[in-house]
């Protein structure tokens, strides 16, 4: 089924949103179609009308939830403001470390699905962040280094704090600001603000 048709239908959107919650909680292997149908209040034939199987559903869920991240990254502002927005957006969008979802790719059987997931992460998150890091390097705001390495360091910092905001008694925006400051300036006493 055409992705645009999927997103225009409330049943499909409910499946995608509930699937997102379940895949984050239980991982690909832990989620059953029966459980998802129960949570959505839909029958299996209805789910299969929109998604051919669990693997297709997983791929479509990731594409759906990643869609638009590039817009957040590309919004105008200073490097600091842009990185803070990205960090806050990641903290708000994910309940668990996003790397767990990436690890679940190993359970996919069809190579074309792996390619779709790689492309979604690359076009929506990694690629635009790499471009932002490169811009920061060119403008002298970041150390001259591999922009992909800087992107992975930044995402690694954020990833470790996904789902921990409540435990840390911080709002997403405040945590995003602190993590971005640590990424940009380090934690050395003399590097503070």
Q: How far, in Å, CA of 1 to CA of 137, rounded?
A: 42
- Statement to judge: residues 72 and 112 lie in one domain: yes
pLDDT of 109 strictly over 70: yes
Question: Are 22 and 107 found together in one domain?
Answer: no
For residue 2, name the pLDDT band (cuts at 50, 70, 90): very low
Q: Tell me the pLDDT tens digit for each residue of 114-161.
A: 899 889 999 999 999 999 999 999 999 999 999 999 999 999 999 989
* Whole-number Å distance between alpha carbons of 42 and 76: 42
The predicted structure's pLDDT at residue 185 = 93
Structural tokens at position 134: 């490169």
Structure tokens at 33: 């179609």
Per-residue model confidence (pLDDT) at position 9 = 84
State the pLDDT confidence band at 97, using cuts at 50, 70 and 90: low
For the chain, what is the domain count? 2
pLDDT category at 103 given cuts 50, 70, 90 is confident
89 and 180 co-located in one domain: yes
pLDDT tens profile 8-49 = 588 899 999 999 999 988 888 899 999 999 999 999 999 999
% of the chain surpassing 70 pLDDT: 90
Domain with residue 156: its CATH number is 1.10.357.10
Identify whether 40 is part of a domain.
yes
Together in a domain, 92 and 154: yes
- Tell me, yes or no, whether 80 and 111 share the same domain: yes
Answer whether residue 62 is part of any domain. Answer: no
Residues 96 and 11 reside in one and the same domain: no
Mean pLDDT of 90-95: 88
Same domain, yes or no: 96 and 144: yes
Q: Examine the domain organization and report whether 185 and 133 are in the same domain.
A: yes
Task: Kindly state whether residues 146 and 111 are assigned to the same domain.
Answer: yes
Q: How far apart are CA 181 and CA 126, in angstroms?
A: 20
Same domain for 172 and 77?
yes
Q: What is the CATH number of the domain that holds 27?
A: 1.10.10.60
Give the residue numbers spanning the domain of 29. Answer: 3-54
Secondary structure of residue 141 in the 3-state scheme? coil
Q: How far apart are CA 130 and CA 134, in angstroms?
A: 6
Q: What's the mean pLDDT when you consider all of the chain? A: 89
Does residue 110 sit within a domain? yes
Query: In 28-108, which ranges are E strands?
Result: none
Q: Are 45 and 73 found together in one domain? A: no
12 plus 72 within the same structural domain: no
């Amino acid at each position: 089924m055409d992705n645009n048709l999927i997103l225009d239908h409330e049943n499909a959107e409910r499946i995608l949103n509930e699937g997102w919650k379940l895949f984050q909680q239980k991982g690909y292997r832990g989620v059953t179609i029966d459980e998802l149908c129960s949570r959505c209040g839909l029958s299996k034939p209805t789910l299969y009308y929109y998604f051919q199987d669990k693997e297709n559903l997983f791929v479509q869920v990731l594409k759906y939830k990643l869609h638009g991240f590039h817009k957040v990254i590309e919004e105008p502002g200073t490097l600091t403001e842009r990185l803070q927005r990205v960090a806050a957006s990641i903290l708000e969008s994910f309940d668990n470390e996003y790397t767990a979802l990436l690890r679940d790719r190993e359970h996919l059987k069809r190579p074309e699905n792996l390619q779709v997931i790689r492309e979604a992460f690359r076009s929506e998150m990694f690629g635009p962040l790499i471009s932002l890091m490169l811009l920061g390097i060119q403008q002298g705001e970041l150390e001259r280094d591999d922009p992909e390495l800087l992107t992975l360091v930044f995402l690694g910092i954020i990833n470790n704090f996904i789902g921990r905001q409540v435990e840390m008694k911080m709002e997403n925006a405040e945590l995003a600001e602190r993590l971005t400051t640590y990424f940009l300036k380090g934690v050395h006493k003399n590097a503070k603000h």
